Chain A
Amino acid sequence: MDWLPVLLGLAVAFSAVMYVVMDGFDLGVGILIAGAPSEDDHATMINSIAPFWDGNETWLVLGGTLLIAAFPLAYATLLPAFYVPLMTMLFALVFRGIAFEFRFRANRFRSLWDTAFAGGSVVAALCQGIVLGAFIKGIPVSNGAFRGGALDFLSPFGVVCGLGLLAGYALLGATWLIFKTTGTTGRYGRAAARLALPATIAFIAIVSVWTPLAYSQIASRWFSWPNILYLSPVPVLTASVACGAWRAISGPHDWLPFLLAIALFLLAFLGLGISLWPYAVPYAATLWQAASSPPTLAFVGIGTAVILPIVIGYFAFAYWVFRGKTTGQTGYGH
C-alpha cells in the first residue's frame, strides 16, 4: 500500500493549509488591531472574527494529531527541534485567547488585554514563520531522533520566513476586513492591504530565490528539464494572482481580495510542497520512511475519511450562519 502514506501526507498538508488560511486571517486581524482608527473599529474588528477564531484553531489540533498517528517519526523529530518556537507560539495563542474573553469584562485594564491580543497575534505569526523556515532548512537527525540544540531553529532564513508570514497574515486579515466590514473599518482594511500585499509578494519572492540558491535539490526540482515546463505555471499564476489582488483591493467586489489572498497562500504552499516532496522531515526522512505501519495507516485513514467531511461540514455551517457584514453593535456572542 504505497499510496497510503501519500494520502495521509495530503491530509496533514490539508490540515496545515486550512490552519494557515483560517487562523491566518484572524491572527492577521489581531496583527492589524493596533492601527485601528478608533475604538469602534477596534470592536468591529474583534466582532468580525469572534464567531470563528477558536474554531479555526481546530485545524492545528487535527494536523498535530494526524502527524503523530500517521507519521510518528516526523512528529518525534520535528517537535523536539521546534520546541522553543512552538511553545512560544502556544503561549502567545493562550494570551490571545484569554484577551478575547477578558477584554469585554475589563474597564481599567482593557488596553492591557488589547496589548496581549495584538502581541499574541504578532508573536504567534512570527513563531510559525520561524518554524517554517527551520523546516525548509532541515534539521539534524540521526538514528531517528533530533540531534541538535534548543536554539538551532534560529537562522536569518527563519527570520525572513517569520516576517514573511507576518506580512501574509496581515494581508489575510486586511482582506477579511474588506470582506466582512463596512465604513471606516473596511477603508482601514483596504489601506492595510495596500501595504501588506507588496510586503507579502516581496517575501514570497525572497524565499523563492533563496531556497533554490541554498539547496541544490530544490534548484534541480524546479529548473531541470522537463520539470521547468510543468512547473512554470506556478510562478506565472502566483504573479497574476498578485496583480489581480492589487487591482481587487480598489475594486467593487468586497469578497474578491480575500479570495485572491487565499489563492496566493495556496500557491505559495503548492510551491513549498513541490520543493520539499517527498520529505516528511526535510532531507532526512521521506513520507514512506516516516509513516506508521500499514494497519495503523489504514485505521487512521478510515478515521480521517469519516472525521474530515464532518469537520468541513460544521465549518461551512458556522461560516454560513455568520455570513454577511459585521457591525460594531453586536456584542461578543455569549
Chain B
Amino acid sequence: MPYVFFAFRIMIGLWLLMLILVVVGAWLRWRDRLETACCFHIACICSSPAPFLAVLSGWTTTEIGRQPYVVYGFLRTADAISPTPAVAVAWSFALFLAAYAALAFAFFFYAMRAVLRGPAEEVAEPSSVVRPGIASAPAGRPAE
C-alpha cells in the first residue's frame, strides 16, 4: 500500500533529521558555538513541526498497515465493530473536529501571544548568592 510505504519512510526520515539536529547541537555545544550558530537556530525553528508529523505518520503506518485486522492475524476490523449506531459515531466525530479546531485555535492564540511578548526580563543575580557546591560562610556570619 502506498500510504504505508510513504508514511513509514516519512517517519524514519524525520527521525533521521531530528537525530542529525541533536548530534549537530551536541557538537556545537562541545565547540562552545551553540549560542552563536545562527543557521542552527533557524534549523531548530523550522524543525518544530517534525515530531508532530513523525507521530502522525507513525500512527498512519500502524493503523493502515495492520488492515484488514484490528489485532493482527486474529481479529478482523469488520468483526470488531461495536453495535454503536453509525449516526452517533458520525455526530461524535463532527464534535471532535469542531472541539479540537476550537482548542487548537485557542492554543495558537495564547502561544503566539506568549512568543510575541518574548521572555521576561532576566533578573540580575545577586552576588552574595550561595552556590551549591561552593563553600562559603553562612549569611550574616564572618568567615573563619
* A contact residues vs B (CB 8 Å cutoff): 76, 79-80, 83-84, 87, 91, 94-95, 98, 102, 105-106, 145-147, 149-150
Q: Flag if A102 contacts B106 (CB, 8 Å).
A: yes
Using A102-B106, A150-B84 as known contacts, list a sample of 5 further A-B pairs with CB atoms less than 8 Å apart, ordered by residue number in A. Answer: A79-B84, A83-B84, A84-B91, A91-B95, A98-B106
Q: Which residues of B contact A106 (CB under 8 A)?
A: 110
The complex places the Cα of A94 from the Cα of B103 at a distance, in Å, of 10
Contact indicator per residue, chain B 69-91, by CB within 8 Å of chain A (1) or not (0): 00000000000001111011101
* B contact residues vs A (CB 8 Å cutoff): 82-85, 87-89, 91-92, 95, 99, 103, 106, 110, 114
Q: Flag if B85 contacts A150 (CB, 8 Å).
A: yes
Q: Which residues of B contact A76 (CB under 8 A)?
A: 82
Q: Flag if B95 contacts A150 (CB, 8 Å).
A: no
Smallest CB separation, A103 vs chain B (Å): 11
User: Given A94-B99, A150-B87 in contact, is the A83-B92 Cβ separation under 8 Å?
Assistant: yes
Q: Name the one of B88, B103, B106, B114 contacting A83, with C-beta atoms under 8 angstroms.
A: B88
Smallest CB separation, A300 vs chain B (Å): 19
Q: Name the one of B84, B87, B88, B99 contacting A91, with C-beta atoms under 8 angstroms.
A: B99
The complex places the Cα of A149 from the Cα of B88 at a distance, in Å, of 9
The complex places the Cα of A197 from the Cα of B110 at a distance, in Å, of 40
Q: Which residues of A contact B82 (CB under 8 A)?
A: 76, 79-80
Can you pick out 9 interface pairs between chain A and chain B where the beta carbons lie within 8 Å of each other? Answer: A80-B84, A83-B84, A84-B91, A87-B92, A94-B99, A146-B84, A149-B85, A150-B84, A150-B88
Q: Which residues of A contact B83 (CB under 8 A)?
A: 80, 145-147
Q: Which residues of A contact B85 (CB under 8 A)?
A: 83, 149-150
Q: Which residues of B contact A91 (CB under 8 A)?
A: 95, 99
Q: Closest residue to B113 on the A side, CB-wise?
A: A105
The complex places the Cα of A106 from the Cα of B107 at a distance, in Å, of 11
Q: Flag if A84 contacts B110 (CB, 8 Å).
A: no
Q: Which residues of B contact A150 (CB under 8 A)?
A: 84-85, 87-88, 91
The complex places the Cα of A98 from the Cα of B103 at a distance, in Å, of 8
Q: Flag if A102 contacts B110 (CB, 8 Å).
A: yes
Smallest CB separation, B1 vs chain A (Å): 30
* A87, A95, A98, A149: most-surrounded residue (chain B CB, <10 A): A87
Q: Which residues of A contact B88 (CB under 8 A)?
A: 83-84, 87, 150
The complex places the Cα of A83 from the Cα of B83 at a distance, in Å, of 10
Smallest CB separation, B36 vs chain A (Å): 32
The complex places the Cα of A149 from the Cα of B92 at a distance, in Å, of 15
Smallest CB separation, A100 vs chain B (Å): 13
Smallest CB separation, B83 vs chain A (Å): 5
Q: Which residues of A contact B87 (CB under 8 A)?
A: 150
Q: Which residues of A contact B110 (CB under 8 A)?
A: 102, 105-106
Smallest CB separation, A109 vs chain B (Å): 8
| A-B complex: 7 closest residue pairs judged by Cβ atoms | A150-B88, A150-B85, A80-B84, A87-B92, A146-B83, A83-B84, A145-B83
Q: Which residues of B contact A145 (CB under 8 A)?
A: 83
Smallest CB separation, A150 vs chain B (Å): 4
Q: Which residues of A contact B89 (CB under 8 A)?
A: 83
* B87, B103, B106: most-surrounded residue (chain A CB, <10 A): B106
The complex places the Cα of A128 from the Cα of B9 at a distance, in Å, of 44
The complex places the Cα of A106 from the Cα of B106 at a distance, in Å, of 10
